[in-house]
Amino acid sequence: MSSLRLLESVDRARLLVTVGSGGVGKTTTAAALALLAARRGRKTLVLTIDPARRLLQALGLDGADCPPNTPLPVLPRLHQQLLPADGSAAYGLVAPEHTSLDAMMLDPTLGAEQMVERLLPNPALREEVLGNRIYRALLPALGASPDLVALELLAELHRRDQYELIVLDTPPTHNTAEFLQAGQTFAHFINEQVLKWFAKVPARDESRRPGFFSRGSVAAMGVLGRLFGSEVLPDIAQFFRSFRDVMPAMRARSEATDALLRSPATRFVAVTAPGETSLREARHMLALLQREGLPFAGFVVNRVLVLPQALGDEARVQAIAASLVARLERTGMEPLVASHLAARLCDGASKLRDLHLADAAHVRSLRTMLSLPSFLSIVPQLEHDIHTLPELCDLGARMVQGCDTPAANAPAPAGASRPSAAAAGAG
């Protein structure tokens, strides 16, 4: 049932945003969803931030001829990689002219410069900001926290309206709440009120600005002077004054981004992986999306250990191991050696079973958080990194299948024989 909901998001949404804590496979999930959408006939862009090298290679974004912040077509590469076996499969069920997938990697520092260029169309003013000592000092910091730059680029891409679907991989940020509020946060940093504090600071070549000081701005100046040192205030004031004329345009953009995130055509996909912390973060994430009124589509749970049925039953594992010992002895193996080997075999199975029980409990907890019509897609742990586009295609197919995985839906196979262990793992 719930795979319909996943496919509905892929087929209908204008914006898919993958959210989740670091290390859960968020970027890979975003790329796989985008590829899935393109192969189902939608002109798609995936915007990724700081992806792993392997994924860059898979998407073809790792070469020297691949400038950042520039969309690059992906499907022709997939076409080549599938040749000669079945090149036409690259385009899924769609004619090549009816679909496309572009991938873009965000370089936040470059993005910050491009953002200033878009915001400040006046060349003189732009030169003033770009040459400002404070702006130049802040640039690496903007690069280190790409939230604002990513949101700004997203809004710009949406405005250009070249794609049917944009898949946004959110940056490895401190938390998702901060990312979603980056536009508003920036509006706290540069706004009319803050400008007012600095408006009365004399420039370096002036002695004193005439005019009245409001009580608020006197207090603010006093505090700012003591915090920053009065010597640097003129430079800081100059920095803020550069933004004076573009303030309304900036606010309009920030509001547009906010509206885009809340649009009914936007879907948030929460990506998670087994583990106590991930589970707590997933709960926080869901609460955040609900509180902010952001449209939630479903969970993708990566790296779940799916165990073959027989291994869930410890007694059965022991019995099978015993029969293997007997057979090994018949081949001439020392009884002690054979039983030692069987014990290690059982040990391995039991370790995997422990992980599996914890993962099954994790999935059940996620399920209790969900209300219809959300999807819950269970993706098994892969035994290798994703290197190629065909592997990424395969991952997308697994995500669709994973919505209906019985191992995830049904109680853990070992639940019948070890109910207490399964229940204990649920915490």
Partner 1 sequence: MAGVFDRSVLLVTGKGGVGKSTVAASLARRAQADGKRVLLIEFESVSRMAPLFGLQEAPLEPVRLDKGLDLMGFDLLEALHGFAGDQLKVRALAKLALANKVVRGFFLAMPAIRSILFLYHLQRLEATHGPRGDRRWDLMICDMPTSGFVAGLFGVPAMVRMIFRVGPLAEVAESMSQLLFDPLRLGVVLVTLPEEMPVVETIELRHELRRRHGVDVAAIVVNGLYPELVDGDELAALSAVVAEPGLSSDDRHAAEQLLWAAEVMRGRAARARRVLPDLEHIAGETLVALPHLFRRKLHLDSIDALAARWRPDQRSAALRPRPPAGAVEVRP
Taking CB under 8 A as the criterion, which residues in 379-408 touch partner 1? 383, 385
Taking CB under 8 A as the criterion, which residues in 94-123 touch partner 1? 109
| 370 touching partner 1, by CB under 8 A | no
Residue with smaller CB distance to partner 1, 189 or 203: 189
Tokens of residue 206, six digits? 């002036």
| 68 touching partner 1, by CB under 8 A | no
Smallest separation (angstroms) from partner 1 to the CB of 261: 18
- How far, in Å, are 50, 187, 268, 303 from residue 117 at the CA level? 23, 18, 30, 42
Taking CB under 8 A as the criterion, which residues in 4-33 touch partner 1? 21-24
| 226 touching partner 1, by CB under 8 A | yes
| 215 touching partner 1, by CB under 8 A | no
| 63 touching partner 1, by CB under 8 A | no
Rule CB under 8 A: choose which of 98, 354, 373, 410 binds partner 1: 354
Residue with smaller CB distance to partner 1, 345 or 370: 345
Rule CB under 8 A: choose which of 220, 289, 395, 412 binds partner 1: 220
Among the listed ranges 116-124, 189-197, 250-258, 396-404, the one in contact with partner 1 (CB under 8 A) is: 189-197
Contacts of residues 208-216 at CB distance under 8 Å and 24 or more positions apart, as own/partner, are: none
| 202 touching partner 1, by CB under 8 A | no
| 287 touching partner 1, by CB under 8 A | no
Rule CB under 8 A: choose which of 60, 274, 380, 402 binds partner 1: 274
Residue with smaller CB distance to partner 1, 277 or 368: 277
Smallest separation (angstroms) from partner 1 to the CB of 331: 6
Tell me the pairing of strands 72-73 and 100-106.
Answer: antiparallel
- Find all residues with CB under 8 Å of 117, minimum gap 6, and list them: 126
Please work out the total of residues on this chain that contact partner 1, with binding judged by CB under 8 A: 83
Taking CB under 8 A as the criterion, which residues in 126-165 touch partner 1? 133-134, 136-142, 144-145
Smallest separation (angstroms) from partner 1 to the CB of 280: 5
Query: Minimal CA–CA distance to 27: which of 42, 17, 36?
Result: 17
Smallest separation (angstroms) from partner 1 to the CB of 84: 29
Distance CA 224, CA 166 (A): 42
Residue with smaller CB distance to partner 1, 256 or 306: 306
Residue with smaller CB distance to partner 1, 396 or 425: 425
Taking CB under 8 A as the criterion, which residues in 31-60 touch partner 1? 50, 52-54
Among the listed ranges 73-81, 84-92, 99-107, 280-288, the one in contact with partner 1 (CB under 8 A) is: 280-288
| 416 touching partner 1, by CB under 8 A | no
Query: Minimal CA–CA distance to 76: which of 105, 52, 97, 45?
Result: 97
| 421 touching partner 1, by CB under 8 A | no
Tokens of residue 211, six digits? 């005019």
Among the listed ranges 201-209, 242-250, 353-361, 404-412, the one in contact with partner 1 (CB under 8 A) is: 353-361
Among the listed ranges 157-165, 185-193, 287-295, 397-405, the one in contact with partner 1 (CB under 8 A) is: 185-193
- How far, in Å, are 261, 410, 425 from residue 402 at the CA level? 27, 13, 22
- Cα(first)–Cα(last) distance of the chain, in Å? 27
Rule CB under 8 A: choose which of 106, 152, 359, 403 binds partner 1: 359
Smallest separation (angstroms) from partner 1 to the CB of 358: 4
Query: Minimal CA–CA distance to 78: which of 87, 65, 70, 69?
Result: 87
Rule CB under 8 A: choose which of 94, 199, 341, 370 binds partner 1: 341
Smallest separation (angstroms) from partner 1 to the CB of 415: 17
Among the listed ranges 69-77, 253-261, 328-336, 389-397, the one in contact with partner 1 (CB under 8 A) is: 328-336
| 322 touching partner 1, by CB under 8 A | no
